[in-house]
Amino acid sequence: MVTDEQRRDFTGKVALVTGAGSGIGREAALGFARRGALVYAIDVDDRGLAETLAQSEQLDGSVRTAHVDVSDEAQVAGLLARIESEAGRLDAAFNNAGITGGTHRIEEYPTAEFERVLSVNLKSVFLGMKYELPLMLRSGGGAVVNTASVAAVTGPGGMSAYAASKHGVHGLTRVAAMENASRGIRVNAIAPGWTETPMVVANSRQNPAFAELAKKAIPAKRGAQPSEIADAAIWLCSNEASYLYGHLLVVDGGMTIGG
Ligand code: NAD
């Protein structure tokens, strides 16, 4: 009989986490390693990756880092080729790297910035899955989780590029789930709300009144810790979520309950 512990365990499995040099991605990389996985931790921030690696030292699994720009096809293809040659398999992929972009009305939004946000947040998820899915298939199946946002189900003023990219992540997730459900690969997404990653904490310090207002608007009256979002993503990748396909798991302290 398979125990609950075994359904949560990633011993002998290989996981890929992007944006693993900070915030939610770092917590997910450490979380997979705590559960026994060999984790490929990806980012463009080498100092962040070094810190993630340092924090992983006492854990059951292990972490290998790679400097990869998730919006660059050749780099993503090279990464998956490296994982296949070193580890021979891929069981879980958390496509999580992302940027917010500036806050401007649509008529003032710089087009180059719009394209950059779409490239890092959306094209990256397409490229990730394009190269992850064949390796997962060759590994006998697996699970993908893509990071969307509450901005995938709302229209925050001033954030056209971000909201468009995250709505796109939701759409891509559903298509990938549909295309792969019968092939032993589950694809889902998470939609974090206000999450206290280093950038959000720094912004809150600069603008405490806005941060207070935002927290009041969250039914739980607090932002999420990055680990609370990472735990949801790891659970979606685990066998405990074995019948979830194409789902958008909103993890937002109730922020969007009221519509
Ligand atoms: P973060 O800034 O702490 O981490 C994001 C990481 O992605 C950084 O380490 C950054 O270097 C990396 N990254 C950026 N561009 C990259 C690229 N081209 N290639 C590889 N890595 C790149 O932010 P976070 O809050 O942990 O964000 C993780 C994800 O969660 C993002 O997709 C973000 O949109 C989403 N999200 C965050 C919040 C929040 O409140 N923090 C809310 C909703 C969704």
- Closest ligand 1 atom to residue 97 Cα is 7
Does the CB atom of residue 160 touch ligand 1 within 6 A?
no
State the average pLDDT for the chain.
96
> Does 205 map to a domain?
no
Does the CB atom of residue 24 touch ligand 1 within 6 A?
yes
Q: Kindly report the protein residue whose alpha carbon is nearest to atom 18 of ligand 1.
A: 69
Residues paired with 143 in a beta bridge: 92, 186
Element containing residue 243 per DSSP (H, E): none
Q: Ligand 1 centroid to 25 CA: how many Å?
A: 7
| Helices and strands (H, E) in the chain, number of each type | 10, 7
CA distance 194 to 225: 9
CB 57 within 8 A of CB 84: no
Q: Kindly report the protein residue whose alpha carbon is nearest to atom 19 of ligand 1.
A: 69
Q: Which residue has the tokens 């958390």?
A: 94
For residue range 86-106, list pLDDT tens digits in order: 999 999 999 999 999 999 999
What count of other Cβ atoms lies within 10 Å of the Cβ of residue 228? 16
What are the φ/ψ torsions at residue 248 (nearest 5 degrees)? -105, 105
Return the closest-CA partner of residue 102 out of 191, 153, 149, 162. 162
- Closest ligand 1 atom to residue 100 Cα is 34
Residue 259: pLDDT over 80: no
Contacts of 72 (CB under 8 A, 6+ apart): none
> Does 213 map to a domain?
no
For residue range 64-90, list pLDDT tens digits in order: 999 999 999 999 999 999 999 999 999
Q: Is the ipTM of this complex over 0.90?
A: yes
What are the φ/ψ torsions at residue 147 (nearest 5 degrees)? -90, 115
Contacts of 33 (CB under 8 A, 6+ apart): 39, 56, 59, 60, 61, 62, 63
CB 40 within 8 A of CB 88: no
> Does 216 map to a domain?
no
Active site residue 243: no
> Does 10 map to a domain?
yes
DSSP conformation class of 257: T
Q: What pLDDT is stored for residue 35 in this prediction? A: 96
- Closest ligand 1 atom to residue 150 Cα is 43
pTM exceeds 0.90: yes
> Does 206 map to a domain?
no
> Does 221 map to a domain?
no
Q: Which residue has the tokens 């302290």?
A: 253
Q: Which two tokens stand for residue 191?
A: 């939609």
> Does 203 map to a domain?
no
What is the number of structural domains in the chain?
1
Contacts of 35 (CB under 8 A, 6+ apart): 8, 9, 10, 11, 60, 61, 234
CATH of the domain at 131: 3.40.50.720
Indicate the pLDDT class of residue 202, thresholds 50, 70 and 90. Answer: confident
Residues paired with 199 in a beta bridge: none
- Domain span at residue 83 reads 4-196+226-250
> Does 208 map to a domain?
no
| Alpha helix (H) residue ranges in 17-123 | 23-34, 46-55, 73-87, 111-118
